[in-house]
């Protein structure tokens, strides 16, 4: 089954390009550490999901949307290198004037005006899929086009393709220094997506920036470096895996299977990704890993809420099985232990069948109402990813997300109390009431996650 | 891509505008090596086939034929505009873009605003409409004028209102040159205060600039250059040496000063015109930097003022560029943002600078700056990959900061000194439509603005506390 990607705004289009490039590069890689047959099946499955062929050239199953032309033009020409993959020249929509970091402009002006044309482009892409697994929507939540138009389009996709799954890859802005009204734009986006999307996959710029600095040893970090790390993480999640233990067939419905495992309740739909190992290309050939070592570290990253394999707090331990009274425990847990609602572990590479997953089946990692049998699953393939002999990705739904969300809601609320910048939104029909609705919904989400036990 | 139209009014406006077009042409010539008319050029220039008679000869694609500035030139005397038309830039303008008179406004805001305003309203409107018709997506009018004289100040602010009525969707960014305290125009405080009221009411953003600051910056550059520290490494086309060749004059301090203002506009629009990894369109400027409609005065600084000939950026020097941007000696108006309160701050970077450089410098500088309680993280940033001609990198910092207040207070004091004595008032009151109430309303409008800044300054000593959050029934 195929996934149609919708790239929105500057951020979405820059990342979308890197994602397709990473998927393509990996699937063409001859160093798969596996049999030829395995490699071919993997390639075929990747292509079915993310590319279609036209005259022998892989074409990304993507629709590019931006309200100004510069970025899309740049990405189209970058993707036009001979011997690689391409975008469909017709699957793009751009206008002349961007949304100016104004969510209200993206949502209330660009949205209604252009939804039909964009939906037509999306429909054309959908018609080229033999069967549709769902939509992958890449957008930032800080600006105007990705966030505002993105929220509007996700709603439209929900109305028009209610049976197809919608996963939004959202880029969480740096805590400071990108867009001044980013917290307003973020709460408006998140609250709208919470109503219309099936799952929100969150990447924080701050966390990825740190990975670039610490793990990739990049000195002068550019957005390209950040986006490539992000693309690597997404690739390690979405590249094909076997459908079941000891099976040679690749999983056919990537989005559907993923959400079935990870979103057990509509109140909880924020997902995060951790990958291990992650390092610069130059150090890769000199490194070896065992499954035991990787999974031990990954488990500790999970429970201590570390975004990368460095500076992990090894003191954090799961709570003892005997439950203390809920109130007290919540406080304790918030500070240290990251409770999971659901985890999906994806393992790729050599001897993958020998990896011991017991550490992730510990009931203490999960809530009392969803045991490890339901809350944990693992996908595998012996095909190595991106030349890493062994690598693991963990997609999880859990409390990791409380702190950044709480911070954004808090900052937006402080600004809202002074009424600063509100006139920029009311100008385009987003009233104080709309802000209050968003605050209410998100406070609810924060509370729900915080009180997981 | 969007387009902008520059409206240059009065002597100062036209001199600055002239420098701007000279630099804009040179910048696009340096970036666009192929001679093909592209979207970046189209933001400020039309491509016209001059062999075709008439006006409908704009070419949207293909080779550059003849570039015409998207500009309207207005002056109530002929001197400067005639000089432009005889100079090397004559081909980028044509007679359809000009409005001149011969009598001048006599340094009287009322003459510019009321007399010439009414007299030339239709004509101005027609030229503006024409320039708008040549754009397929007009985003912004840049008005360049001075506050102290008659034409720029009076007619310049008159047309702000015209623009607001006629093109409500199009942004109005105003570059206003404020008189220095030793200004030789005796009525400049009157003119400035009367103009301020219009700026308060009808501009989206105002970039205040004062001659004294420009002069000080030029003197400092001259000092470094003549002391031989830079030696032969000063680049030919950099800000230091690019005198306004457009006006056929020898280098005067005013040329260099006008160049700084022209560079400000070029830098301000660079991220909208050229590619970059973090774009900043013009509409993002007011969205991020104007928290309340009236508080739209942005203090700007351009760094570095000079760049050595080396191409690589040693990290130390790059960081110096960021430090200097907050230094009071680098502001284009006499103001000290570091010791006042920030409402918001934008850093627009050009050239080989990456997001990690930006972040490092924000983290480094943040502790030394004070932000208003509800906007503790009020930073907006952009990265444009095309550096200015002759430089490897540069930075424009825009600060919405209470440090503009002293300029306004000083202006009000100078106004009051004249007004108490009713000095020169009759020159104004004899103009039709001009009443005493115009003065009192203007000064109370300015006082209200000062009061807003006072209230913000008063919050400086109050500790920052979080507002109690919404409580949710769980």
Give the mean pLDDT of chain A: 92
Beta bridge partners of B46: B68
Which residues in chain B have their CB less than 8 angstroms from residue A436's CB? Answer: 470
Average pLDDT value for residue range B418-446: 95
Cα-Cα-Cα-Cα dihedral sign, residues A80, A86, A90, A92: negative
Confidence check: pLDDT of B241 > 60 = no
Beta bridge partners of A398: A340
| DSSP codes joined into one string, B371-389 | E-GGGTT-EEEEEESSPPT
For residue A170, report the phi and psi dihedrals to the nearest 5 degrees.
-110, 140
Q: Do A440 and B470 touch (CB under 8 A)?
A: yes
Q: Do A414 and B281 touch (CB under 8 A)?
A: no
Average pLDDT value for residue range A266-279: 94
Please write the tens of the pLDDT for every residue from A191-209. Answer: 999 999 999 999 999 999 9
B191 half-sphere exposure, CB direction, 13 A CA radius: 30
Average pLDDT value for residue range A5-16: 97
DSSP reduced 3-state for B405:
helix
Q: Report percent pLDDT > 90 for chain A.
A: 82
Question: Residue A424: closest CA among chain B residues belongs to which residue?
Answer: B287
Q: Report percent pLDDT > 70 for chain A.
A: 96
Looking up tokens 């004595």, which residue turns up? B421
Global pTM value: 0.93
Which two three-digit tokens encode residue A195? 């109503």
Do strands B71-75 and B3-9 pair parallel, antiparallel, or not at all (unpaired)?
Answer: parallel
Which residues in chain A have their CB less than 8 angstroms from residue B139's CB? Answer: 97
Q: Do B466 and A414 touch (CB under 8 A)?
A: yes
Which one of B354, B379, B472 has the shortest CB-CB distance to A177? B379
Confidence check: pLDDT of A285 > 90 = no
pLDDT for res B447: 98
Please write the tens of the pLDDT for every residue from B361-420. Answer: 999 999 999 999 999 999 999 999 999 888 888 999 999 999 999 999 999 999 999 999
Cα-Cα-Cα-Cα dihedral sign, residues B152, B157, B162, B167: positive
Which residues in chain B have their CB less than 8 angstroms from residue A447's CB? Answer: 472, 474
Which two three-digit tokens encode residue B374? 């509800």
Quick one: residue A33, left, alpha or beta (phi over 0 = left, psi -120 to 50 = alpha)?
A: left
| DSSP codes joined into one string, A145-213 | IIIIIHHHHHHHHHHH-TTSEEEEEEEEPPSSSS-TTHHHHHHHHHHHHHHH-SEEEEEEHHHHHHHHH
Is residue A8 within 8 Å of residue A111, measured between CB atoms? no
Which two three-digit tokens encode residue B111? 């003459």
Cα-Cα-Cα-Cα dihedral sign, residues B25, B30, B32, B38: negative
Q: In this predicted structure, which of A9-13, A28-32, A119-123, A406-410 has the lowest mean pLDDT? A: A28-32
Non-local (6+) Cβ contacts of A69 within 8 A are A94, A95, A96, B1, B39
Rg (CA), chain A: 21
Cα-Cα-Cα-Cα torsion A49, A52, A53, A58, nearest 10 degrees, comes to: -70
For residue B75, report the phi and psi dihedrals to the nearest 5 degrees.
-150, 150
Rg (CA), chain B: 22
Best probe of the B interface among A10, A14, A69, A70, by most B CBs < 10 A, is A70
B462: preceding bond cis by omega (within 30 degrees): no
Beta bridge partners of B381: B347
Average pLDDT value for residue range B70-75: 97
Distance in Å, alpha carbon of A71 to nearest chain B alpha carbon: 7
B275 closest CA partner among B345, B347, B351: B351
Distance of CA B139 to the CA centre of its chain: 16
B80 or B304, which is more confident? B80
Q: How far apart are CA B269 and CA A276, in angstroms?
A: 42
Neighbours of B136 (CB within 10 A): 11
Q: How far apart are CA B68 and CA B50, in angstroms?
A: 10
Please write the tens of the pLDDT for every residue from A405-420. Answer: 999 999 999 999 999 9
Average pLDDT value for residue range B232-249: 45
Non-local (6+) Cβ contacts of B182 within 8 A are B212
CA distances for A346 relative to A18, A202, A274, B255, angstroms:
21, 17, 10, 65
Confidence check: pLDDT of B68 > 50 = yes
Is residue B145 within 8 Å of residue B67, measured between CB atoms? no
Neighbours of A86 (CB within 10 A): 17
Is residue B396 within 8 Å of residue B352, measured between CB atoms? no
Average pLDDT value for residue range B236-257: 54
CA distances for B462 relative to A418, B369, B455, B459, angstroms:
15, 15, 12, 5
Q: Angle at Cα A180 formed by Cα B267 and Cα B467, nearest 5°?
A: 155
Fill in the DSSP letter of residue B49: -
Q: What ipTM goes with this model?
A: 0.90
Q: Do A100 and B377 touch (CB under 8 A)?
A: no
The burial of A217, by beta-carbon neighbours within 10 Å (0-12 exposed, 13-18 middle, 19 or more buried), is given as: exposed
Measured N-to-C along each axis, helices B253-273 and B10-31 cross at an angle, to the nearest 10 degrees, of 50
Q: Do A414 and B377 touch (CB under 8 A)?
A: no
Which one of B2, B344, B383 has the shortest CB-CB distance to A97? B2
CA distances for B83 relative to B77, B89, B274, angstroms:
12, 10, 31
């Amino acid at each position: 089954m195929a996934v149609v990607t919708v790239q929105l705004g500057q951020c979405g289009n820059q990342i979308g390009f890197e994602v397709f490039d990473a998927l393509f590069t990996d699937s063409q890689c001859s160093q798969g550490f596996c049999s030829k047959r395995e490699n071919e099946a993997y390639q075929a499955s990747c292509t079915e999901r993310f590319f279609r062929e036209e005259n022998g050239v892989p074409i990304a199953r993507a629709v590019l949307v931006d309200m100004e032309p510069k970025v899309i033009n740049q990405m189209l020409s970058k993707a036009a290198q001979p011997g690689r993959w391409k975008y469909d020249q017709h699957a793009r929509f751009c206008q002349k004037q961007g949304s100016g970091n104004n969510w209200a402009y993206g949502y209330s002006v660009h949205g209604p005006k252009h939804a039909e044309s964009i939906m037509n482009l999306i429909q054309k892409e959908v018609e080229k899929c033999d069967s549709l697994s769902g939509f992958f929507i890449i957008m930032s939540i800080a600006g105007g086009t990705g966030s505002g138009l993105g929220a509007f389009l996700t709603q439209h996709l929900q109305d028009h393709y209610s049976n197809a799954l919608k996963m939004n890859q959202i880029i969480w802005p740096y805590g400071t220094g990108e867009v001044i009204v980013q917290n307003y734009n973020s709460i408006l986006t998140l609250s709208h997506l919470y109503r219309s999307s099936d799952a929100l996959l969150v990447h924080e710029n701050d966390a990825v920036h740190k990975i670039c600095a610490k793990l990739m040893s990049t000195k002068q970090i550019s957005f390209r470096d950040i986006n490539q790390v992000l693309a690597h993480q997404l690739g390690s999640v979405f590249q094909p895996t076997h459908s079941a233990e000891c099976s040679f067939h690749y999983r056919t419905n990537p989005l559907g299977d993923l959400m079935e495992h990870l979103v057990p309740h509509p109140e909880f739909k924020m997902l995060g990704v951790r990958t291990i190992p992650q390092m610069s290309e130059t150090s890769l050939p000199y490194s070896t890993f065992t499954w035991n070592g990787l999974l031990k570290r990954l488990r500790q990253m999970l429970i201590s809420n570390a975004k990368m394999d460095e500076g992990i707090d090894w003191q954090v331990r799961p709570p003892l099985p005997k439950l203390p009274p809920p109130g007290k425990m919540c406080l304790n847990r918030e500070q240290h232990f990251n409770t999971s609602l659901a985890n999906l572990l994806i393992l790729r590479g050599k001897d993958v069948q020998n990896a011991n997953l017991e550490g992730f089946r510990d009931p203490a990692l999960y809530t009392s109402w969803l045991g490890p049998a339901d809350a944990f699953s693992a996908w595998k393939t012996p095909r190595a990813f991106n030349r890493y002999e062994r690598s693991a990705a963990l997609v999880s739904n859990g409390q990791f997300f409380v702190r950044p969300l709480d911070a954004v809601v808090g900052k937006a609320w402080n600004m809202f109390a002074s009424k600063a910048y509100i006139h920029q939104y009311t100008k385009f029909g987003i009233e104080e009431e709309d802000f209050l609705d968003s605050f209410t919904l998100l406070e609810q989400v924060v509370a729900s996650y915080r009180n997981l036990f | 891509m969007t387009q902008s139209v520059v409206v240059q009014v009065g002597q100062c406006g036209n001199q600055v505008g002239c420098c701007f077009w000279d630099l804009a042409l040179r910048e696009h010539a340096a970036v666009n090596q192929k001679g093909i008319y592209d979207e970046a050029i189209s933001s400020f220039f039309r491509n016209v086939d001059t062999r075709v008679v008439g006006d409908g000869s704009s070419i949207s694609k293909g080779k550059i034929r003849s570039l015409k500035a998207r500009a309207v030139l207005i002056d109530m005397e002929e001197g400067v505009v005639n000089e432009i038309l005889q100079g090397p830039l004559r081909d980028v303008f044509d007679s359809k873009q000009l409005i001149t008179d011969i009598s001048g406004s006599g340094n009287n805001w009322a003459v510019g605003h009321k007399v010439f305003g009414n007299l030339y309203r239709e004509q101005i409107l027609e030229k503006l409409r024409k320039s708008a018709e040549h754009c397929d997506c007009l985003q912004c009018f840049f008005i360049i004028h001075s506050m102290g004289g008659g034409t720029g100040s009076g007619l310049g602010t008159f047309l702000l209102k015209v623009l607001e009525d006629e093109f409500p969707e199009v942004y109005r960014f105003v570059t206003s040159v404020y008189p220095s305290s030793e200004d030789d125009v005796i009525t400049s405080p009157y003119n400035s205060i009367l103009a301020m009221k219009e700026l308060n009411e009808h501009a989206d953003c105002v970039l205040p600039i004062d001659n004294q600051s420009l002069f000080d910056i030029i003197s400092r550059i001259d000092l470094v250059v003549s002391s031989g520290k830079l030696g032969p490494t000063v680049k030919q086309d950099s800000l230091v040496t690019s005198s306004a060749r457009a006006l056929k004059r020898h280098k005067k301090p005013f040329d260099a000063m006008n160049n700084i203002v022209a560079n400000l506009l070029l830098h301000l629009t660079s991220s909208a015109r050229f590619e970059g990894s973090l774009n900043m369109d013009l509409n993002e400027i007011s969205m991020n930097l104007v928290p309340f409609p009236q508080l739209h005065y942005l203090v700007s600084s351009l760094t570095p003022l000079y760049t050595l000939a080396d191409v690589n950026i040693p990290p130390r020097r790059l960081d110096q560029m960021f430090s200097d941007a907050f230094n009071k000696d680098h502001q284009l108006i006499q103001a000290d943002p570091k010791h006042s309160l920030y409402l918001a701050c934008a850093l627009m970077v050009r050239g080989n600078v990456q997001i990690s450089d930006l972040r490092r410098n924000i983290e480094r500088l943040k502790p030394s700056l004070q932000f208003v309680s509800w906007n503790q993280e009020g930073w907006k940033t952009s990265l444009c990959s095309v550096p200015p001609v002759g430089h490897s990198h540069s930075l424009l910092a825009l600060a919405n900061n209470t440090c503009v207040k002293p300029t306004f207070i000083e202006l009000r004091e100078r106004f009051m000194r004249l007004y108490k004595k009713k000095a020169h008032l009759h020159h104004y009151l004899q103009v039709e439509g001009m009443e005493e109430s115009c003065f009192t309303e203007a000064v109370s409008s300015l006082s209200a603005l000062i009061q807003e800044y006072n209230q913000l300054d008063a919050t400086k000593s109050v500790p920052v506390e979080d507002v109690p959050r919404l409580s949710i029934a769980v």
